Structure formats: C-alpha cells, structure tokens
Structure 1
Amino acid sequence: MDTALTRLVGVRHPIVQTGMGWVAGPRLVSATANAGALGILASATMTLDQLRDAVREVGSRTDAPFGVNLRADAGDAGDRVRIIIDEGVRVASFALAPSRALITELKDAGLVVIPSVGARRHAEKVAAWGADAVIVQGGEGGGHTGEVATTVLLPQVVDAVSIPVVAAGGFHDGRGLVAALAFGAAGVAMGTRFLLTSDSTVPDAVKARYLAATVKDVTVTTAVDGLPHRMLRTDLVNSLEKSGRTGILAHAVRRAAGFRKISGLSWPAMIRDGLAMKHGRDLSWSQMLLAANTPMLLRSAMVDGRTDLGVMSSGQVAGVVDDLPSCAELVDRVMAEAEETLKSLELLRAVR
C-alpha cells in the first residue's frame, strides 16, 4: 500500500509501532521493521550508552528503516540527537513537540522528523517549524492522553496541515487503517497492539492481564503522576486514587530515587528535567514530582512483571485484543484486512 508515509520513511506498509518506554526495545523494533512497518525505539528510559547500544542492536537485526523516540524536554536531548545522527537512524520521533532548533538540526542531518501531538494547534506549530509528518493521538490512546476522540481530532489535524498525518489512538486492525485513510491520514500508529505480540519482551503474566481486560477495565487517572494517564485499572491504581497527598508524594519520592539510580541521572539533572516538564504546563511542584515517579511504576510492570507494584499504560483497544501474534503475523493480518475492507467498499460502489 503506497501512501505519503511509506514514501516518506521507506517502509512497505503504512503502520507505525510507537515508542513505548520499557517496551519498544531492539527486539520489538527490529521485528516490526522486518515486517515492513516502522518500528520506533523508546529512548527516554535509556542512558546515553544504552541508547547507542540499542540503536546498533536494531541495526544488526534489520536493514529496514526504523526510528528513535526522544523526549524533547530532556536535559540531554542534544546528546541523544547527536547519537542517532551519528548512528544513521532514519526517523526521529518525539513524545512532545521538539524545538525549532532540534527539528532543524535533525533535518539538516537528513533525518525524517515526526513529532507526536494531541491537539491541532500543536500540529500546526511543528509543521510550521519544518516537521516532515506528525502522529496525532486521540483520547483512546494509551499513556498520557487528551480528551478528544481520534474520530474528531484526526480530521481537524488533516485539514489544518499539509504534511502527512499518522493516526493513533484506537487502532488495532485493517478496518481501522482504512478508516484512518478515509479521514485523510497517511497511516496508523499502534502501541498496545504491538505490546501484545510474541516479539514484545513484556512478561507473559503482564500480557495476560492485558488480554483479560475489557474495554471498561481501561481507565484514565491523574492519581499516578498528576496528568491524565490511560492505563489498566488495578488495585494499585485504586489505592493511589484513594491515598492522601502525603502518602502519594512519599511513594513518588522513593520511586524517583530508584529511577535516578537506574538512569544514571544526578538529582540536579532530574530537577532540570522536571523544570522542563513543568514549563508550559499547569503543573504544581507536587505534580512534577509525581511525574518523575512514572518511569519506575511502568518498569515494575513492563520489565519486572510486578503488576501489584507497577502500572500498565494501555489504549482502549486492550479490551478487544485477544491474541499474541508475531509482529510479522500482525502486520500481514492488518494489511490483508485492509485489502478486504477496501474490496467491500468497492462492491458497494459497483452495486450502485
């Protein structure tokens, strides 16, 4: 299937595997790339050395294009940009809108820049700064999310910018891909659906929790880090929502200290990142501390398998996913379903 996305990044299929922290590692990314979709490596939870090693590992597993997701507000964002430039990465993805300077630096080095946004005005801003495409996530998507549904947000963004738009939030099959194309998107991005594959390194027990979830088991809460965060509802989430501010903050401090040890960041560096996170948002200092807590809560589940101690970011599609195909099987299935859907639509025209 030939779209503006496949032409832009050089993949066979208009499907993107999103850069999920602790989940989108070399194995998942390379499997996605070999399946003909665009795999994106999550770098926010890696040290600089780990990022370089991970990029090289993906390169050793595939000759296909892949991307790296970066945190634009990280204090070492410039160092990470230089690593992916030096290592010949094809695509730079951002969870937050990057600065004009970062976009220019990456584009001058020949990379394709694809920020993720959750509002039309943010898409307009990065497009004006030179972004090559944009991933727009509606409220159905996992992780930090907004309130506007994909079916409302997507056409707004498509009408507002002239660059390719990739639709995220609520996609898991070929019917969704065709729907996104009908709205004017150039492809779809999926996170939870790729998390739930046999190539994902997420522990089996955690995958089982996702597979057992219904649509109603996926909720949005601000109790974890002070920001709207879509995840599976668990006893831990219920407990955090019922805890007083003092208890939550004490929990956050312990988790933030653990992340500092794993990441190698100093306390001053974490404070700088926190200030950057706070900039431009209506966050209190207590919310900022809670936000620093999130990586460790995610790691507890996604790496250690401790669903009792960690949280599980999730799109609403977890409630309709019931199997664990390989990335190759998933991509082939999505494309086959898309072709069948397109044929069905053509038959409707033929009848008329």
Structure 2
Amino acid sequence: MSDTAAIVTPLTTLVGVRHPIVQTGMGWVAGPRLVSAAANAGALGILASATMTVPQLRAAVREVKARTEAPFGVNLRADASDAADRVGVVVEEGVRVASFALAPSRELIARLKDAGVIVVPSVGARRHAEKVAAWGVDAVVVQGGEGGGHTGSVATTVLLPQVVDAVDIPVIAAGGFRDGRGLVAALAYGAAGVAMGTRFLLTSDSTVPDAVKARYLAAGVADITVTTKVDGLPHRMLRSELVDSLERSGRVTALLRAVRHASAFRRESGMSWAAMVRDGLAMKHGKDLTWSQVLLAANTPMLLKAAMVDGRTDLGVMASGQIAGLIDDLPSCAELVDRIMAEAQTTLKWLSALS
C-alpha cells in the first residue's frame, strides 16, 4: 500500500477507495488483471462486461475478487437484452459499484440500490446528469469531448462545471486526464475525482498487446481523430490506415462490413440473432438511431477486439482520448496512481504558496 497522502473527496467516501481516481470500463481492455491492479493501487477499477457473456462476467468478477480485497465496479450496458441478468451477477457477487455507459432504467437503479450497490452512470450532457440524478443514482461520470471512444463535442472544461452546478451528487470528471495537475484542476471545478481510460490502457498491467501500446505511445495529439464511419456515431480513436480506409468507404461497403461483424460478434458473444435484434431495437430507441446506424454499431466490438486482443493494428480500431498524445510511458497501475497523487500534493502546495 502506498504511503502517498490521501485526498478525501465525496468519491472516496462514497466508494471506499483510497484515491479519487477511476479506471474506466474499456471493452476488451478492462479485464480482471487491469481492474485488480487499479483497485490494489487505491483507485476504483471498473470491469468491462459488454463483450462478455453472463457466465464469463461472473467468472471475471470472481477473478477480480480473488486478486484484490479493494472495492471495484462493473460497467454494464443499460440497453442490453440481458441487463437484468447482469445486474443479478453484480448483486449476487457483492460488487461495490455498477457503472453504465447509458442511463439505466429506474427499475435497474432501484434494484441495485436496494441491494446496496452504488450506481454511477456516465453522461455527456447536463440534461442527462439532471435526469439520472432525479432517478436516484449515487454519482455521475461526466465525459468531455476529449475522451476516447464514443464522445460528444463539448470540452470537459465547459461540460464539467455545468454538471457540477446542476446536480448535488458527486461528479467524476473524464476526458483529458493523465496526471496530478489534471486531478487538482478537476477538483477545483468541483469534481469529486477523475476517471481515466487511455492512461490506464497505457500501463504495464494492461493486457493490450505491446505493438498496439507502441502505436499509442508514438501518437501525437494531431494523430487522434473523431470518425462516424465505424458505427455511425462520433468515435474518438487513433488515426490509422484502417480509419482512413473507413473514411473513404461508401455506404454499401460499410453496411456489408457491419453484417459480417455482426455475425462474428454473435459467435463471439454466444448471443442469438433474436437477442441481437432486441439489443438493436433498444439501441435504436435509446440513441434515436436509424437502422443503418444500428447495423453499423456491429462494427465496434469486433474492430476493437482485432486491435486490443489480437494486436492487429492494421485490421482493428484503437479508441483513444486526445490525452494519448501526451503519454510516453507504461508505468504499473501502482506507479501511476502514486505518481498522480504525489503530483497532486505538489500542485496543491504550489497553489497554497500563492495565497
């Protein structure tokens, strides 16, 4: 355990972690090894479940519990057809936190809270934060446009104070964070902590193949782009030959590729076509998508898997926050969290000396 001085915030008090830092639930990346390493470092590790079957999720939760006694969470898809089953695993296994990429229903929130699980959805707009706060969630993660993966257009520095002023629950800032200075800046805006994806992906505890990590480390800020060609929604990722190809591809080519990827993901996940159609209906309604966009969404899991699991930077996409352009090393989670907290303390002392 680190002897770095703690910074107590509403997040650390709510969840019971030592430090106000969250490792986000990245598909194919945030598995038991990374999550337990983040948790043992004093951060809140979040297990990504969307690419797992329900039995795989239970096994992964149990593996994390075998590796750490610290609190951790599970990220869930609120619009998944088997969301209730996944919530059941979270409740039965005694997971501390349930996070959501989309707003969970009132019923799921109530079921989790009745079981003592802390509910923390991610939001990209003030109105979404206000809605879920009214439904009784315990905290929210607010991701600005700098964040990796599916993202919005409003910068963290604009979105974060909006949400902090609008709700009376802890707000966790995401999008553009990597160090102690960023943590102090988020706290100054009124956040209760920071959530980081790309920074934890680029650690020695991450299972992402070395060749893929090397592509991230070599990237500059200008090498990170936003495209809608993967799944019809704005998606921030590293620019690559594949992304350039997707940008040039026509509509018919994109839809045919999506059909192939939908079939591959069905085999990978063990889902039936009926279940995938139900998920597509839920996604279409929840995000107001066209059927073409729903079909394109089948691209995402398999293109991410090609890079994050198989190491094929030529065949996969590499979701990335803009902050990747400033990252140049691969510390362990323990080294990273200790460094962030030491930098935060140094920054706070510097600010104190100004007064």
TM range (shorter): over 0.9
TM-score by length of 1: 0.99
Q: Matches of 1:93 and 1:82 in 2, distance apart?
A: 14
**Alpha-carbon deviation of 1:283?**
1.6
Name the SS for the 1:98 alignment partner: coil
Q: Matches of 1:300 and 1:252 in 2, distance apart?
A: 14
**2:109 corresponding residue in structure 1:** 103
Q: Matches of 2:171 and 2:117 in 1, distance apart?
A: 17
Q: Matches of 1:196 and 1:239 in 2, distance apart?
A: 26
Q: Matches of 2:67 and 2:297 in 1, distance apart?
A: 34
Instruction: Give the paired residue count.
Output: 349
**Alpha-carbon deviation of 1:280?**
3.6
Match status 1:154 vs 2:160: yes
Query: Could you tell me the percent identity over the aligned residues?
Result: 81
Match status 1:230 vs 2:272: no
Name the SS for the 2:74 alignment partner: strand
Q: Matches of 1:189 and 1:218 in 2, distance apart?
A: 19
1:101-158 Cα offsets, whole Å, 9 max, x none, are: 1000000000000000000000001100000000000000000000000000000000
Q: Matches of 1:267 and 1:44 in 2, distance apart?
A: 16
Q: Matches of 1:177 and 1:266 in 2, distance apart?
A: 43
**Alpha-carbon deviation of 1:281?**
2.7
**1:89 corresponding residue in structure 2:** 95
**2:205 corresponding residue in structure 1:** 199
Name the SS for the 1:116 alignment partner: strand
From 310, 321, 328, the equivalent of 1:315 is: 321
Kindly indicate whether the alpha-carbon contact (under 8 Å) linking 1:274 and 1:292 is maintained by their aligned counterparts in 2: no
Q: Matches of 2:189 and 2:341 in 1, distance apart?
A: 18
**Alpha-carbon deviation of 1:292?**
1.6
Match status 1:278 vs 2:284: yes
Match status 1:132 vs 2:163: no
**1:117 corresponding residue in structure 2:** 123
Question: Which amino acid in the other structure matches residue 127 of structure 1?
Answer: A
**1:299 corresponding residue in structure 2:** 305
Name the SS for the 1:166 alignment partner: strand
Kindly indicate whether the alpha-carbon contact (under 8 Å) linking 1:22 and 1:42 is maintained by their aligned counterparts in 2: yes
Q: Matches of 1:279 and 1:313 in 2, distance apart?
A: 25
Deviates more, 1:277-286 or 1:84-93: 277-286
Unaligned runs of 5+ in 1: none
**Alpha-carbon deviation of 1:282?**
3.3
Kindly indicate whether the alpha-carbon contact (under 8 Å) linking 1:113 and 1:131 is maintained by their aligned counterparts in 2: yes
Q: Matches of 2:244 and 2:289 in 1, distance apart?
A: 22
Match status 1:243 vs 2:249: yes
Kindly indicate whether the alpha-carbon contact (under 8 Å) linking 2:47 and 2:75 is maintained by their aligned counterparts in 1: yes
**2:223 corresponding residue in structure 1:** 217
TM-score by length of 2: 0.98
Match status 1:63 vs 2:69: yes
